[in-house]
Structure 1
C-alpha cells in the first residue's frame, strides 16, 4: 500500500489529519486543473476546490484507496463546474427571455414562469420509477458520480449509467412534446 492509499484508508475512518494531508497535497493541483477547464476563473476555481474537498469529507467512506484519488477529485470538480455552467446558462436564458418579453408583463409573472419551469422538471422527475428517480436525483441534484451512486445503492456502475440514460431519454421525450425548441434546449441543459 503506497503512502497516499494509507492516508485515504485513514480518511475513510474519519481521520482529520489524513484529510488535511490530502488537501495540502492535492488542493493546488486541483486548483490548476479547474483553472484550465474554467478558462482562468480564479474565484470559481477556489470555490470548486473547497466544495470538492467538502464532498470528499462527506463521502469519505466511499473512497477507494486502490483507485486514483486525483482522478476522483478531477471528476467531482468537473461535475461541479458543469452544474455551475448549466445553472448560469439557465439564468442567462431566463434573463434574455425577460428582456424580450412584453413591457406590460410584470416581474411577478416572470418569476412565476421561472418557477413553473422548475416545477415542470420536478414533476418529470417524480414520474420516473422510484429506483430510477433515486439514481437521477443522486446524480443531478446531489452531484454524486456514477461510482458513488453504485456503491451507495449496491448496484453496478453500468446499471447506474443505464438508468440515467433512460431517465434523460424519458424527460427529453416529454419536454419535446410540451415546449418549443428553445425551451427544450434550455431544459436539456438542466437534465444532462
Structure 2
C-alpha cells in the first residue's frame, strides 16, 4: 500500500498491505537499534503492527513509516530496559548468593508461576508497576485505562499472587 493513498486501521487488508510494504524496512531499522539484541527485531516489529492497529488518525495513514518507526523504536527501548533489569537482578542475586539456596529458588519459581497465572489485564499492570520505572499514570496511558483502574488491577494482582503462593505452600 502506498503512503499516498492512506491507511484505514479498521481495514485488516490495509494493515496487511502496510505490513507487506514496510515490514522489511522496520525489521532492519529495529536490528540497528537493538544491536546485540537484534534477534528480537522481528518479534518487536510484530508488536509494533499490533500497536498501530489501534490508531485511526490521519497521520497514521499519511506517515506510516514515522508511526511504525516511533512505535518500534519505543518497544525496542522497553525490551532493552527489561533485559538490562533482568541481567542486573541476576548479577545481584549471584553476587549475594540469593539464587543458590534451594528455598530461594523454590520461592522464585512460586512467584514466577503466580505472576504467569495472572489474567493478562492484571499481569500487564502488575509487571509494568514492578519491573519498569513507569508511574501509575503512565501505565494507565499505555493501557488506555484510568489511574484508579491501574491501582485496582495492581492490588488485585498482588492478592491473586499471594493466594496462589499460599496454595502452593499448602500443596507441599
Say whether residues 1:77 and 2:72 are aligned partners.
Answer: yes
Distance, in Å, in 2 between the alignment partners of 1:138 and 1:54 is: 18
Q: Which runs of 5+ in 2 are unaligned?
A: 116-125, 147-172
Partner of residue 30, structure 2: 34
C-alpha distance after superposition, 1:146-183 (max 9, x if no partner): xxx8xx99xxxxxxxxxxxxxxxxxxxxxxxxxxxxxx
1:67 deviates by 4.7
- Map 1:160-179 → 2, pairs under 5 A: none
1:79 deviates by 0.8
Are 1:49 and 1:77, in contact at CA under 8 Å, matched by a contact in 2? Answer: yes
1:61 deviates by 2.1
Distance, in Å, in 1 between the alignment partners of 2:20 and 2:87 is: 36
Say whether residues 1:6 and 2:5 are aligned partners.
Answer: yes
Say whether residues 1:91 and 2:86 are aligned partners.
Answer: yes
Distance 1:67 1:138, change over 3 A: farther
C-alpha distance after superposition, 1:89-127 (max 9, x if no partner): 111111111111146854158749999xx89x55xx9xx
Partner of residue 13, structure 2: 17
1:37 deviates by 1.2
SS in 2 for 1:60: coil
Q: TM-score, normalised by structure 2?
A: 0.57
Are 1:5 and 1:65, in contact at CA under 8 Å, matched by a contact in 2? Answer: no
Partner of residue 48, structure 1: 44
1:44 deviates by 0.8
Distance, in Å, in 1 between the alignment partners of 2:58 and 2:76 is: 21
* Matched residue count: 127
1:40 deviates by 5.8
Q: TM-score, normalised by structure 1?
A: 0.52
